[in-house]
Amino acid sequence: MSHTVLICDDAIFMRTMLGDILQQAGFDVVGEAETGSQAVEKYRELRPDLVTMDIVMPDMGGIDAVREITKLDPLAKVLMCSAMGQQALVVEAIQAGAKDFVVKPFQPSRVLEAVQRVLG
Amino acid sequence: MDTARYAELFLMESRDNIVAVNEALLRLERDPRDREAIDAVFRAVHTVKGMAGVMGYAAVADLAHDMEALLAKARSNGRGLRTSDPALLIDATDALELAIEASVATGGASVDVTAMCARLRGTSGGEETPGDQPALDSVDLPPGEGMAIVVRLVRDAPLPGARAALVIQRARALGEVTAVSPDEEHLHDGRFAGTFAMRIRTESGSEEITAALRTAGYVEEVRVQREAHAADPGAAARDRADVAWQTGTLKAPLQRFVRIDLRRLDSLMNLMGELVIARGRLEQAVVPQSDPVLTEAAGAVGRLIVDMQAGILSSRMVPVWQVFDRFPRVVRDAARSLGKEIDFVVEGRQIELDRGLLEQIGDPLVHLLRNAVDHGIETPDQRERAGKSRAGRLTLTAARERAAVVIRVTDDGKGIDRQRMLDRALVEGFFEPGKDGLSDEELLRIIARPGFTTAESVTELSGRGVGVDAVVSRVRAMGGSVDLRSTPGEGTSLTLRLPVTLAIIQALLARVEDETYALPLTHVKETLRLTPEALRQVRGSDVLVLRDEVLPLLSLRRIVDLPVRDAEGSQVVVLEVADRRAGLVVDQLRGQQEIVVKTIDGARGAASCFSGATILGDGIPALILEATSLF
């Protein structure tokens, strides 16, 4: 059975791109979220194997969302999506429980490598 | 601009340049004053900057610019780089590489290099910022309980600080992390050289630890040391070249193109030439044997050589757009600076040309285009007064014509002022006084004369002037020809006729006395035996009457300073260059053969009618007659 993924990003472009990358690699994108709070809600509902999480989102940011999701499920696998120059934020996300990160702009191979690492 | 098409080329060339930069930086790490290495880095970074600018990849261009600034300073102060600079530049190169890959992947969007640029600027401004100090020295664990572990990250790991945080996160899952060096604050900011150490109290074995830490990603190496002693920073430095190699090569994605040093192709081409000569000798040697097996084998070898030659030649062929596509920018800039309006059209972008030729033709074409904008096309007001559209039309065309590629620059400008050119030429004693009117050929001869075109106030010359001599001599040196057409008020057109490829051409072999000369077939229209009816005299000169056409008759004997014999009964080769024709009288024709052109040094001034030499199948050398020089 293929792994389920929840994609969290406020930009439809990024969601589409990530979705394409993951679907082409055989993942099952079960949900999308545009805000941090939506992400937490959908995680509770869908319990996906993997979450990709943008750092900067309206409403609730990605880091807080990671914190909430990790509280819900200490084994949650969250992959942060960051831009270059957001190192401090990524470190914070990791300390909040994120399991890995990829740097935008995305290269499919790097995204998939990170996903493989996270899913073990 | 449709950049997608060039992205692959940009990527390919940039990768090459990154490889060169890394190689030179590793030398600089050993000796920061290595001038040659500094220059090499500078050149490569500069190239990347230029290409990135054209592609519109601002991040790459900015970063390259800041690297260049740092290097420029080292070049100008004469002291070379400071000891901390190579490490910084290596980091910058990694960032540059990432920016390149990212820019190509995304079309230049959302690549952030500001942090790296700031570090570079901090340094080239003369201040040592704390971040510049390689933190390797501080990979020094305080003694304590637990296993000492040294982790080295992959060199191109993005956000190494965050990656280190992940590694530490994985370590914490195994046990208690009692110490980290450099401290976590430094690590998280990325202020370390890719290697850091920590101490863990854990029940896990070293294999288990290594495997767990590797799940953090971008981990190049994990070293687990039972004894509590300081990590060896020197080892990391020693491994650096190795890491560069690994990360540089193993990570390179598969490419559709392979870049080959042109010199290798040239040497293959030369060998091919030798092979063609050897084949000629073989074929001649086989004939008298009349051995069918030998003849068949020689024939097979010959056919294979033909195929192989075609293969080698095609490996050198590139579409002209690789050079042409930078011209719209050239024309636009020139037009803008001169206040002219120009519609620039490029035709035949996909026509292929030998790469060596294409590279050489680039600059001459820029010259011709600039000239057309400067001297050919009028200002919008002038054009309007002349009843033309305000915008001039400038066309660059490439087309295949038999064994030649024709490149033509055409404008619809005012044409060349013949009277003015003639006056000028008469002053210089170029023609006999009293000459009236100029043909296009004469016009070209005038403006292609070095002394003429570099004369003062060239911009006053209506029509072309600057550097046409350079263009013409370059094209002729390549075995090509130049042709000019200019009509007052309607425009000017310069046509460059180039061989499709260098080196191997079809030639007609002609004899006078016991010397053989080669005539490139590109210029041979036909051959015939000279009959008394065809031979006429016009104003004391021999002419050839060929199907109602009267052609000037030249003698190869005269050209090579042999006594001229009665032409009757001799063979005539009808040469054609552009639309001009002439007959060349030779003693005898020896047939057609593929010849390998060898350039001859120093002979140009002495005998400019020879463009090179070749060695024939029988091992005898022959001079190659340059038809264009005879007209």
Model pLDDT, residue B562: 83
Q: How far is the C-alpha of A65 from the C-alpha of A53, rounded, in Å?
A: 8
Contact between residue B454 and residue B428 where contact means Cβ atoms under 8 Å apart: no
> pLDDT tens for residues B390-417?
999 999 999 988 668 899 999 999 988 8
CA-based nearest residue to A4, from A21, A24, A20, A26: A26
Angstrom distances, CA of residue A34 to CA of A22, A54, A71, A77, B588: 18, 9, 20, 18, 87
Cβ-proximal residues to B374 (8 Å cutoff; 6+ apart), any chain: B334, B338, B459, B466
Yes or no, beta carbons of B111 and A103 under 8 Å apart: no
The answer on B472 and B514 residing in a single domain is no
**Residue B353: half-sphere exposure toward Cβ, Cα within 13 Å:** 30
Task: Calculate the average pLDDT of chain B.
Answer: 78
CB A11 within 8 A of CB A33: no
Residue B561 dihedral angles phi and psi, to the nearest 5°? 60, 40
Per-residue pLDDT band for A46 (boundaries 50, 70, 90) equals very high
ipTM value, please give it: 0.89
Among left, alpha and beta (phi > 0; psi -120 to 50; other), residue A52 is beta
Tokens of B37: 């290495």
B514 and B610 belong to one structural domain: yes
Residue with tokens 């047939």: B591
Looking at the structure of chain A, the number of domains it has is 1
Residue to mutate among B100, B113, B166, with most A CBs inside 10 A, is: B166
Nearest to A84 among B109, B158, B216 (CB): B158
| Residues in chain A within 8 Å Cβ distance of B166 | 94, 99-101
Q: Per the domain annotation, does B159 fall within a domain?
A: yes
Q: Note the pLDDT of residue B350.
A: 84
CATH code of the domain containing A65: 3.40.50.2300
pLDDT of B138: 37
**Which member of B112, B162, B215 has the closest CB to residue A120?**
B215
Q: Are residues B12 and B124 in the same domain?
A: yes
Mean pLDDT, residues B589-613 taken together:
68
Provide mean pLDDT across the span B251-276: 67
N residues, chain A: 120
| Residue B140 pLDDT greater than 70, yes or no | no
- Residue B222 counted as domain residue: yes
Confidence of residue A82 (pLDDT cuts 50, 70, 90): confident
Cβ pair B386, B488 in contact under 8 A: no
d(CA B424, CA A55): 73
Distance between CA atoms of residues B618 and B615, nearest Å: 8
Do the beta carbons of residue B502 and residue B554 sit within 8 Å?
Answer: no
Answer yes or no: do B364 and B450 share one domain.
Answer: yes
CATH number at residue B35: 1.20.120.160
A11 in contact with B, Cβ within 8 Å: no
Burial class (CB in 10 A: 0-12, 13-18, 19+), B282: middle
pLDDT at residue B133, as a whole number: 33
- pLDDT > 60? residue B229: no
Contact of A42 with A31, CB cutoff 8 Å:
yes
Q: Are residues B294 and B199 in the same domain?
A: no
Residues A9 and A79 sit within 8 Å (Cβ to Cβ) = no
Is it the case that residue B355 has pLDDT exceeding 90? no
Q: Which pLDDT belongs to residue A8?
A: 94
B247 inside domain? no
CATH number of domain containing B471: 3.30.565.10
Over range B376-385, report the average pLDDT: 92
Identify whether B250 is part of a domain: no
Cα B9 from Cα B200, distance rounded (Å)? 48
Secondary structure of chain A in HEC code, one letter for each residue: CCCEEEEECCCHHHHHHHHHHHHHCCCEEEEEECCHHHHHHHHHHHCCCEEEEECCCCCCCHHHHHHHHHHHCCCCCEEEEEECCCHHHHHHHHHCCCCEEEEECCCHHHHHHHHHHHHC
CB contact under 8 A, A85 and B111: no
Q: Residue B344's beta-bridge partner residues?
A: B394
What is the distance in angstroms between the Cα of B115 and the nearest Cα belonging to chain A? 6
Question: Is A3 in the B-facing interface, judged by CB distances under 8 Å?
Answer: no
Domain that holds residue A105: 4-119
Residue B297 makes CB contacts below 8 A (sequence gap 6+) with none
- Best-predicted range by mean pLDDT (B54-58, B160-164, B237-241, B271-275): B160-164
Q: What is the pLDDT of residue B137?
A: 34
What lies within 8 Å, CB to CB, of A87 at 6+ separation is B115, B159, B161, B162, B188, B189, B190
**Coil, helix or strand for B195?**
strand
In a shared domain, residues B509 and B538: yes
The structure tokens 């001038």 sit at B35
Residue type, B485: R
In-domain check, residue B480: yes
What does the pLDDT look like over B4-55, one tens digit per residue? 667 777 888 888 888 888 888 888 887 888 888 888 898 889 888 878 877 7
pLDDT at B3: 56
- Two tokens, residue B464: 């072309």
Is the model more confident about B560 or about B173? B173
Mean pLDDT across A11-37: 90
Same-domain check for residues B412 and B466: yes
State the pLDDT at residue B478. 73
Which residue, among B116, B150, B111, has the nearest Cα to B132 in the 3D structure? B116
Option in A84, A86, A91 nearest B113 (CB): A84
Mean pLDDT of B161-186: 88
> Using H for helix, E for strand and C for coil, what is the string for B35-71?
HHHHHHHHHHHHHHHHHHHHHCCHHHHHHHHHHHHHH
Q: Does B197 map to a domain?
A: yes
The residues, ordered by sequence, that sit 6+ positions from B215 with a Cβ below 8 Å of its Cβ are A117, A120, B170
Can you read off the two tokens belonging to residue B214?
Answer: 């590797």
pLDDT at B306: 80
* Domain assignment of residue B257, yes or no: no
B270 and B168, same domain (yes or no): no
Position B494, amino acid = L
Comparing B110 with B49, which gets the higher pLDDT?
A: B49
Q: DSSP secondary-structure letter at B190?
A: T
Instruction: Using the predicted structure, report yes or no on whether residue B136 has a pLDDT greater than 60.
Output: no
Highest mean predicted confidence (pLDDT) among B120-134, B370-384, B449-463, B574-588: B370-384
Asked if B119 and B185 count as a contact pair (C-beta separation under 8 A), the reply is no
Same-domain pairing of B353 and B492: yes
Q: B241 lies in a domain?
A: no
Q: Is the CB of residue A2 less than 8 Å away from at least one CB of chain B?
A: no
Single residue among B458, B476, B499 that ends a domain in this structure: B499
When mean pLDDT is compared across A81-85, B71-75, B496-500, B617-621, the lowest value belongs to B617-621
Q: Which pairing describes strands B524-529 and B317-319: parallel, antiparallel, or unpaired?
A: unpaired
- Tell me the whole-structure pTM to 2 decimals: 0.41
How many Å lie between the alpha carbon of A26 and the closest alpha carbon of chain B? 21
Domain span at residue B625 reads 504-630
Q: Is B443 exposed, middle or buried (0-12, 13-18, 19+ CB in 10 A)?
A: buried
List chain A residues with CB under 8 Å of B119. Answer: none
What's the whole-number mean pLDDT along residues A48-76? 91
* Residues B518, B541: Cα–Cα separation, whole Å: 25
